Homo-oligomer: A and B are copies of this chain.
Amino acid sequence: MSTILHVQMTEGSVQQLDVDSRLEKHGGRSFIARYLLDHVDPRCDALGPNNVLIFAPGLLAGLPLSSTGRLSIGAKSPLTGGIKEANVGGTPGDKLGRLGIKGIVVSGKAREGIYTLYLSKNGAELVESGEMAKLGTYETTARLLDKYGDHCGVLVIGPAGEMELRGAGISATEDLENVPGRMAARGGLGAVMGSKGLKAVIVDDSGTSAPPVSDMELFKQAARRFAKELIESPKTGKQGSMHRFGTVAIMGPVNDIGALPTRNFSRGQFEGVPNINAEKLRETILERGGKIGQRCMPGCVIQCSNIYVDEQGQPIVSTLQYETLALMGSNLEIDNLDEIAVLNRMCNDFGVDSIEMGAALGVAMEAGLAEFGDGEGARKLLEEIGRGSVLGRMLGNGAETTGRTLGIERTPVARGQAMPGYDPRALKGNGVTYATSAMGADHTAGNAIGSRKTKDPLEPEGTGDLSRGLQQMAAMLDMTGLCLFARPPIVADPDLMIQLLNGRFGWGWTVEDLVEAEDELLRMEREFNTAAGFTPAHDRLPEIFYREPLPPTEAVFDVTDEEMASTIKDL
């Protein structure tokens, strides 16, 4: 039985209601878009009582199926001013699926204090948690697991979320390590959670089983084929780069095409790459007794995560990923894995997005607040977030606030959100996604890096169609809870996804229905943003990206307005 949990923070009330028909076929990001469009004034103050924060597992959550437990979290974003969904791996998504919870809708604002929401098969309860105020995510998670048991999944914010900093994310526990190493990082959703007075959500799935399956035979067959194809694939299998290296496998190719953010997006290649790339990361971790090939979600056969350890073999952070290595590495000209890992752990502990912070630090370095390449300087700046100083709050509010305050023209943002690890001048498809997606600058909304071999990354023509297709695929991933890494079998045969969905729900969908659902999702998000005040004039990158050539390709962002508009036509 699938339900929606309504948590009214002003009243401190929790109510579990049946899913109404408008939401029935929506999951994850799609559930979020439908709910926000139906119930929230897009002009509301994102940090005020009229915004709602939604946790929604994908349609396939909770099943014995690889790589489909990603949890979507969404709200009106205090960072972009538009609709936002960020999703996260780890354990809570699957556990919510097992609890039969299709969505948690958190509304209002606690009159005082902070609270933990505890969920189990016996119901839901808000627990006053003042003793955890301003605690980091590691300590908070450890205390909660100690109290509720290691089998629980935990979602938590750090001090950044409590301070309502727009760079704050929401962390989730990983399957094997049970530390808050995963984050729904983007768009400042942690600040929304903090504004509501919610510190953590505990998902206790003891005594539950997988959700019902409509056509078990169809589902099992498809699930088996899906796992088999993932395991046998040269990319996602045990010998594949995803398993062996994780996301950082992409650093080499991005550097090769000259799109690796370097020195606050002033260059596209970094000479320190050999010290922080895929091979170096793997070698360092293995040498020191850290771990490679970890899974973040139960049942995942790809297992792309790592545990980065120090020279004594003690864990610093899990999992050290490409975006962090780009934004806090090359972008800051820091070519030392230990230094980047420490910065990453600090971000995790404060509960801030390492992409947004890397971009903010790059801007701060450009303004002279520290030297490029100075890991110690970066650490000292980042520490200010924990202190809640004016400097720390500026950085914690992200790259745009930092650039605006310090007067830095080259501030790498779109719709107020920091660009991830792909300079849009040298990978134009990503520029189109940054500019046109309702999500703002977000690689997970439609990443063109995978198409670099079939389409010249510098060529502006055709980037509209390219980005559109990628945005549709991202929509599919984000409504089903599927991990981006697990997309190849579905991309090769979309019917496999249809079999999984029809097996689970008995909807009798065709591939066309799925495509329409993807388009509907993009349309809903666009509609929300239009009502929030966005127009095609916002489908742009900062002016300097159109003007300043990026070494070594010397490319500028030259996608025409017409090409840009083609991306979102008919939406």
Mostly, the A contact residues are loop
| A164 proximity list for chain B (CB < 8 A) | 407
Q: How far is the CB of A371 from chain B (nearest CB, A)?
A: 17
Say how far A537's CB is from chain B's closest CB, in angstroms: 3
The smallest beta-carbon distance between A256 and chain B, in angstroms, is 31
Which of B369, B390, B409, B537 has a CB less than 8 Å from the CB of A405?
A: B390
- Against B, the Cβ 8 Å flags (1 = close, 0 = not) of A46-66 are 011010000000000000000
B406 and A543 form a contact (CB under 8 A): no
Q: In this assembly, does A45 line the interface, its C-beta being within 8 Å of a C-beta of chain B?
A: yes
Chain B residues within 8 Å of A397, by CB = 404-405
**CB-based contact B543/A48 at 8 Å:** yes
Select from chain B the residue with minimum beta-carbon distance to A390. Answer: B391
Q: Once the chains are docked, how many angstroms separate the CA of A543 from the CA of B42?
A: 12
CB distance from A440 to the nearest CB of B (A): 14
Closest residue on chain B to residue A396 by CB atoms: B405
Q: Is A68 interfacial (CB-CB < 8 Å)?
A: no
Considering only residues 513-547 of chain A, those with a C-beta below 8 Å from chain B are 530-535, 537-538, 540, 542-544, 547
A401 interface hit (Cβ, 8 Å): yes
Count of chain copies: 2
How far apart are the CA atoms of A390 and B397 in the complex, in Å?
14
Within 8 A of B (CB), among A147-206: 163-166
Tell me the minimal C-beta distance from A532 to chain B in angstroms. 6
Q: Which residues in B have their C-beta under 8 angstroms from that of A369?
A: 390
Contact A45 B394 (CB under 8 A): no
**C-alpha spacing A537/B538, complex, angstroms:** 14
A343 to chain B, nearest CB (A): 20
The reply to whether A537 and B544 form a contact with Cβ atoms under 8 Å apart is no
Question: A43 at the A/B interface (Cβ < 8 Å)?
Answer: yes
A533: which B residues are within 8 A, CB to CB?
A: 533-535, 537-538
**A393 CB within 8 Å of chain B:** yes
> From residue A330, how far is it (CB to closest CB) to chain B in Å?
25
Could you tell me which residues of chain A, from 388 to 415, have a CB within 8 Å of some CB in chain B?
390-391, 393-394, 397, 401, 404-407, 409
Query: Is A511 part of the contact surface with B, judged by Cβ < 8 Å?
Result: no
Least CB separation from A163: chain B residue: B407
Query: A127 at the A/B interface (Cβ < 8 Å)?
Result: no
Closest to A364 in B: B390
| A540 cross-chain contacts in B, Cβ below 8 A | 43
Query: At the interface, yes or no: A44 with Cβ under 8 Å from chain B?
Result: yes
Instruction: Tell me how many residues of A have a C-beta within 8 Å of chain B.
Output: 36
Q: Which B residue sits closest to A400, measured CB to CB?
A: B404
Residues A407 and B165 in contact, CB atoms below 8 Å apart: yes
How many Å lie between the Cα of A194 and that of B438 in the bound state? 34
Q: Which of B43, B406, B543 contacts A537 (CB 8 A)?
A: B43
A418 to chain B, nearest CB (A): 15
Query: Complex formed: what's the CA distance from A44 to B393 in Å?
Result: 28
The verdict on A166 contacting B543 (CB below 8 Å), with A394-B394, A535-B535, A538-B533 known, is no
Chain B residue numbers with a CB within 8 Å of A394 are: 390, 394, 405
- Nearest B residue (CB) for A48: B543
Q: What chain B residues lie within 8 Å of A48 (beta carbons)?
A: 409, 543-544, 547
- Check if A537 sits within 8 Å of B531, measured CB to CB: yes
Complex formed: what's the CA distance from A537 to B404 in Å? Answer: 23
Q: B407 to A543, Cβ gap below 8 A?
A: no
Chain B residues whose CB sits within 8 angstroms of the CB of A534 once the complex forms: 533, 535
Residue from B407, B530, B542 in contact with A45 in the complex, judged by beta carbons closer than 8 Å: B542
**In the assembly, what is the distance between CA of A407 and CA of B389, in Å?**
12
- The chain B residue with its CB closest to the CB of A46 is B543
Nearest B-chain residue to A194, judged by Cβ: B407
Q: Given contacts A48-B543, A532-B537, A544-B45, are A390 and B409 in contact (CB under 8 A)?
A: no
CB distance from A560 to the nearest CB of B (A): 14
Closest beta carbon of chain B to A436's beta carbon, Å: 14
Q: Give A540 to B531 CA distance when docked, in angstroms.
A: 13
Residues in chain B near residue A401, CB distance under 8 A: 401, 404-405
CB-defined contacts of A47 to chain B, threshold 8 Å? 407, 409
- Which B residues are in CB contact (< 8 Å) with A50? 543
Q: Can you list 26 A-B contacts (CB < 8 A)?
A: A44-B543, A45-B409, A45-B542, A45-B544, A48-B409, A48-B547, A163-B407, A164-B407, A165-B407, A166-B404, A369-B390, A390-B391, A390-B406, A391-B391, A393-B405, A394-B394, A397-B405, A401-B401, A401-B404, A401-B405, A405-B405, A532-B537, A533-B533, A533-B535, A533-B537, A534-B535
Taking beta carbons and an 8 Å cutoff, which residues of A are in contact with B? 42-45, 47-48, 50, 163-166, 369, 390-391, 393-394, 397, 401, 404-407, 409, 530-535, 537-538, 540, 542-544, 547
The 8 closest A-B pairs by CB, nearest first: A533-B537, A45-B543, A164-B407, A390-B391, A533-B535, A393-B405, A48-B543, A533-B538
7 extra A-B contacts, CB within 8 A, seeds A45-B544, A390-B406: A43-B537, A393-B405, A397-B405, A530-B535, A533-B533, A533-B535, A533-B537
